[in-house]
Amino acid sequence: MRRVTSDRSKIVATMVVAIFFLFFWINGPLLNSLDLNFVQDENLEIVKPVLISDDPIQLNSYVNTVDEVVTSGDGFNMVLDEAEEVTQSSGLLMDEHQVQSSEYGDELLANARKFYGNNVSYELKQTEDFYYVSIEGGSENLFYFQSKGLSDDIKGYSGPINVGLYISESGFLVKMVHVASKETMSYLRKIAKTHYYTQYENLDLTEEHTLDGISGATISSKAMASITSDLVSKIHPEPLADYIDRMGVSDFETRAELNWIWIPQIVLILFLFLYAFQKKWRKSKRFVLLTTIVCMLYIGFYLNDSFTYITFLHPFIGTSLSSFMGLYALFVLLGAIWGKNTYCKYICPYGNVQRLQLKIWKGATRKFPISNKWIKRIRFFVLIVLISGILAGFRNLSHLEPFPYIFGFEIQSIWYFGFAVFALLINWIYPLIWCRLLCPTGSVLDTISAIVEKQPKKSKNEHVRRVYTVKHE
């Protein structure tokens, strides 16, 4: 009876996981229907220019007059009467003397120069809705825009990514640059070492483009491609006013997709899970050690593709998952349901580093002074605090994971790297103390395993009947 009840719970849990998995794989994150970011984002107010004139005529949303006809000029640049004094903005752009100086405008101007060079002239300009930089003096005039405050609803691993775009007058994306973000530095360095950024050079704004995503930094690379598409869709009518009608710029889109290499990579991970899950062949110490080394070197150092509790949260905070990470998450969940947390026992690279560390030298091991019952309670409390903070908008909390700092050699983030190293050092005193006391991912998976394995309490009468039967026999 116990086994039947347990299997029934596992089947129900598997069906629930499968439904959620398929839903988010098909529909993507709940970006438009659910907003859990409670921290007010002031970027939009910083980016949006402020008119400095008190004249109600000039405050009339940059309206132009041609003879006595009023037009908003959407998609067009209307020509003003020569006899009329130009006291308003020309076209959809403000006059140069009307540009309102701001901290964001100064930052934009500095970044435009930083990522392009000093052999051309830069001028800060603005429309009604945003600042931009006009670049002249090269082979062709360019415009520089940034996504900060305009495309913040598209998020990477740790929140919005500020990218800069250089767009030519002839309708080409000349260059895309990463300006700033809270992404893990090891992921950004991995992207920078590849051809990822060069794929954006001289893209026609009238076409769709599929780019190579970067395995190990999939979320960040896919997010930058989506942000690029979104930003172009918001800035192309102004100041590139005639492109939308003349060139069809609205067809522009960039997508970053993993190439076929991700398929053998996920297949190998599947085999690791299957070996860890199966019970037909005895797991000898030699093969367990081999699995430990493979997971540590392949998933940890080579792929550097960490699976954490944050992966479960991504669909709820506007971050898209790749097929690779989605299947990886599915394997982990099924391992928690059917294998009593297969991931933590055999697959997790950081856990395997700690186990290998103890095999090499056991150190001065001691018993932790807190009972296992309270250890689990503390770990669950840590999980609730982190999840609540991240859903409330404090995405920096997602960095409280030692994985990327050990396997990505993330020494620039000195505090996080120091914390990850400290967790390894204390492992020689209190074995696997990170996994047992602090790991939020382990808390999620152990909780799932406990729920599906939980047996219904026996009634008093059932216990009496069983005792009586044994005595009678």
- Give the best-scoring range by mean pLDDT among 107-111, 137-141, 324-328, 461-465: 107-111
User: What confidence score (pLDDT) does residue 259 get?
Assistant: 81
Q: Of 236, 257, 278, at which residue does a domain stop?
A: 257
For residue 55, is it within any domain?
no
- Whole-angstrom distance, CA of residue 214 vs CA of residue 256: 8
Q: Are residues 223 and 304 in the same domain?
A: no
- Across residues 113-130, what is the average pLDDT? 87
Q: Are residues 252 and 266 in the same domain?
A: no
Instruction: For residue range 293-319, list pLDDT tens digits in order.
Output: 999 999 988 887 667 888 888 777 777
Q: Are residues 144 and 178 in the same domain?
A: yes
Q: Of 237, 257, 277, at which residue does a domain stop?
A: 257
- Whole-angstrom distance, CA of residue 386 vs CA of residue 313: 11
For residue 249, is it within any domain?
yes
Q: Are residues 286 and 433 in the same domain?
A: yes
Q: Please, what is the end-to-end C-alpha distance for the chain in angstroms?
A: 21
Nearest in space to 239 (alpha carbons), one of 92, 423, 388 = 92
For 193-223, give the DSSP string: TTTTGGGGTTEETTSEEEEE--TTSHHHHHH
Full residue range of the structural domain in which residue 341 is found: 2-30+261-453
Q: How confident is the model at residue 33 (pLDDT cuts 50, 70, 90)?
A: very low
Q: Are residues 246 and 335 in the same domain?
A: no
For residue 399, is it within any domain?
yes
Nearest in space to 216 (alpha carbons), one of 243, 244, 193 = 193
For residue 282, is it within any domain?
yes
For residue 144, is it within any domain?
yes
Q: Using the 8-state DSSP alphabet, how is residue 118 labeled?
A: S
3-state DSSP call for residue 404?
helix
Q: Are residues 245 and 382 in the same domain?
A: no
Instruction: For residue range 141-174, list pLDDT tens digits in order.
Output: 899 999 998 888 888 888 889 999 999 988 899 9
Q: Of 234, 257, 280, at which residue does a domain stop?
A: 257
Q: Which comes out higher in pLDDT, residue 34 or 186?
A: 186
- Whole-angstrom distance, CA of residue 157 vs CA of residue 221: 10
For residue 463, is it within any domain?
no
Q: Are residues 286 and 340 in the same domain?
A: yes
**How many domains would you assign to the chain?**
2
Helix runs in 339-439, H state only: 342, 349-360, 372-391, 403-407, 414-425, 433
Instruction: For residue range 60-104, list pLDDT tens digits in order.
Output: 433 333 333 333 333 333 333 333 333 333 223 334 434 555 788
Q: Are residues 268 and 390 in the same domain?
A: yes
For residue 41, is it within any domain?
no
Q: Using CB atoms within 10 A of its CB, is residue 146 exposed (0-12), middle (13-18) or buried (19+)? A: buried
User: What confidence score (pLDDT) does residue 161 get?
Assistant: 93
Q: Which comes out higher in pLDDT, residue 105 or 98?
A: 105
Average pLDDT, the chain: 77
Q: Does residue 44 contact residue 149 with C-beta atoms inside 8 Å?
A: yes
Q: Are residues 180 and 293 in the same domain?
A: no
- Whole-angstrom distance, CA of residue 257 vs CA of residue 226: 11
Q: Are residues 339 and 446 in the same domain?
A: yes
Angle between helix 414-425 and 349-360 (nearest 10): 50
Q: Which residues of 390-409 are buried (b: 16+ CB within 10 A; e: fewer)?
A: bbebebebbbbbbbbbbbbe
Q: Are residues 242 and 344 in the same domain?
A: no
Nearest in space to 342 (alpha carbons), one of 328, 330, 356, 332 = 332
Q: How many CA atoms lie within 13 A of 339 on its CB side?
A: 21
Q: Does residue 240 contact residue 140 with C-beta atoms inside 8 Å?
A: no
For residue 304, is it within any domain?
yes
Q: How many CA atoms lie within 13 A of 338 on its CB side?
A: 17
* Single-letter amino acid code for the residue at 317: I
Q: Are residues 196 and 321 in the same domain?
A: no
- Across residues 275-303, what is the average pLDDT? 86
Question: Residue 59: pLDDT above 50?
Answer: no
Q: Which comes out higher in pLDDT, residue 235 or 66?
A: 235
Q: How confident is the model at residue 445 (pLDDT cuts 50, 70, 90)?
A: very high
Q: Using the 8-state DSSP alphabet, how is residue 316 labeled?
A: G
For 253-278, give the DSSP string: EEEEE--TTHHHHHHHHHHHHHHHH-
Choice among 53-57, 192-196, 362-366, 445-449 with the minimum mean pLDDT: 53-57
